[in-house]
Amino acid sequence: MITLRTITLENRRILFNLEVSEDQNRFVASNLSSVASCYVLATNGGHPFPFAIYADEEPVGFVMLTYGITGYELPSIADDSYCILRLMIGKQYQNRGYGREAMTKILEFIRTFPAGPAHYCWIPYEADNITAKKLYESFGFRDNGEICDNEPITVLRL
């Protein structure tokens, strides 16, 4: 079973060492850099939620959710919305259904509105990341036509 867990002193190194395959490197930053970004967001008025993705008792991936400020260019629906960033499943754990199950858990968590009310959830992704695009579409996300920091924005009404 997939669960979302907080990053701890015990699991942090395993998480920082999780990698995607070489051809996927341009789709996500390293988990270390993502956790550093969460720190910067948290100390600058943002509401980041970094999570370790566990398959039973094994850390297999990472995701960070944000509410409020997220970066430089923001889509028109960014106010009072949640954003899913840096979703990754370690290369050795991919294609086992973990990413799909993690998305279900991520959306369940967002629908508890942990940082405040929201109408939308959005995800920026690289235009040629077809696997991610299809995965998001299967959960009801649709491109809204905006491009931010060169990435299309896909949006779900919560």
Ligand X SMILES: CC(C)(COP(=O)(O)OP(=O)(O)OC[C@H]1O[C@@H](n2cnc3c(N)ncnc32)[C@H](O)[C@@H]1OP(=O)(O)O)[C@@H](O)C(=O)NCCC(=O)NCCS
Binding region for ligand X (CB under 6 A): 20, 24, 27-28, 87-89, 94-100, 123, 125, 129, 131-132, 135
Q: Quick one: 67 or 86, whose CB is closer to ligand X?
A: 86
Smallest gap from Cβ 35 to ligand X, in A, equals: 16
Smallest gap from Cβ 86 to ligand X, in A, equals: 7
Collect all residues with Cβ–Cβ distance below 8 Å to 129 and sequence separation of at least 6: 27
> What are the structure tokens assigned to 71, written together?
């970066």
Q: Quick one: 1 or 9, whose CB is closer to ligand X?
A: 1
Q: Quick one: 118 or 123, whose CB is closer to ligand X?
A: 123
Smallest gap from Cβ 94 to ligand X, in A, equals: 3
* Strand order across the 49-55 sheet: 2-5, 49-55, 58-67, 81-89, 120-124, 151-157, 142-148
Angle at alpha carbon of residue 95, lines to 93 and 98, rounded to 5°: 65
Smallest gap from Cβ 27 to ligand X, in A, equals: 3
Q: Quick one: 110 or 123, whose CB is closer to ligand X?
A: 123
Partners of residue 88 on adjacent β-strands? 62
Q: Quick one: 116 or 149, whose CB is closer to ligand X?
A: 149
Smallest gap from Cβ 100 to ligand X, in A, equals: 3
By C-alpha distance, which of 53, 28, 155, 49 is closest to 103?
53
Rg from Cα positions in the chain: 15
Instruction: Please identify the residue of the shown chain whose CB is closest to the bound ligand X.
Output: 99
